[in-house]
Amino acid sequence: MTLPRRSLLALIPVLAALPALAQPAADPAAAQIERLHQKLLEVMRQAKALGIEGRYRELAPVVQQVFDLPAMARLAVGSRWSGFSPQEQAAVTEAFTRMSIASYARNFDGFSGQSFAIDRVDAHGDEKVVVSHLINPGNAPIDLTYRMHRAGGAWKVTDVLHDSISEMAVRRSEFAASVRQGGAALLVQRLNELSDRLMRAA
């Protein structure tokens, strides 16, 4: 069957729109989030066999590849970061990294049909925002929005919004008292204590 010329011309706008519809999957920032989501699902499916330590080992490389953890540690501390020595900044970043991986290992501890979907990628100057959601059968979807920037030649996450609540804003509020009371040393101590609790909890 041959389509009339008028019908073929009508298809041109539709075909032209296809790259835009495919944009999230092709976008390098979205590809990073897809990498994270796939690893989370993989670990969730093997959660019981891996145990908390195994989940931590499996997740550590991809969390460090996808998240700009030094930048996130700096954002979570806020204005007091510049008062830390380079050694203190390194210690806080290390403790923050351990806590971040432990949180994922603790929270993604089983699988019951969950899946992730990336909805769109928005560009805002030097940043990109990847809008996605977690589909949890029997429950309302959880909105997950990732703010990202380029670091070391790749797009990396600097903040995660869970149903519009900024993780960095929450962390900054949580860290404020420790930094005020005991500076970097107390913050490192409390981050490590939190990590220990997370690793024991599962």
pLDDT in tens, 68-79: 999 999 999 999
**Per-residue b/e over 54-63, b at no fewer than 16 CB within 10 Å?**
ebbebbbebb
Residue 146 domain boundaries? 27-197
Does 14 reside within a domain?
no
Does 22 reside within a domain?
no
Residue 123 has pLDDT above 60, yes or no: yes
How large a percentage of the chain has pLDDT more than 70?
Answer: 87
Does 1 reside within a domain?
no
- Domain count for the chain, please give it: 1
Does 44 reside within a domain?
yes
Average pLDDT rounded to a whole number, residues 181-198: 97
Q: How far apart are CA 101 and CA 166, in angstroms?
A: 18
- CATH at residue 131: 3.10.450.710
Does 149 reside within a domain?
yes
Rounded to two decimals, what is the model's pTM?
0.86
Say if residues 72 and 158 touch (Cβ distance below 8 Å): yes
Does 48 reside within a domain?
yes
pLDDT tier, 163 (very low <50, low <70, confident <90, very high otherwise): confident
Q: What pairing do the DSSP bridges indicate for beta strands 115-124 and 165-166?
A: unpaired
Q: How far apart are CA 146 and CA 142, in angstroms?
A: 13
Residue 8 has pLDDT above 70, yes or no: no
**Chain mean pLDDT for the chain:** 89
Q: How far apart are CA 101 and CA 94, in angstroms?
A: 11
pLDDT at 177 (0 to 100):
96
Does 15 reside within a domain?
no
pLDDT tier, 66 (very low <50, low <70, confident <90, very high otherwise): very high
Residue 169 has pLDDT above 60, yes or no: yes
pLDDT at 17 (0 to 100):
37
Q: How far apart are CA 184 and CA 191, in angstroms?
A: 10
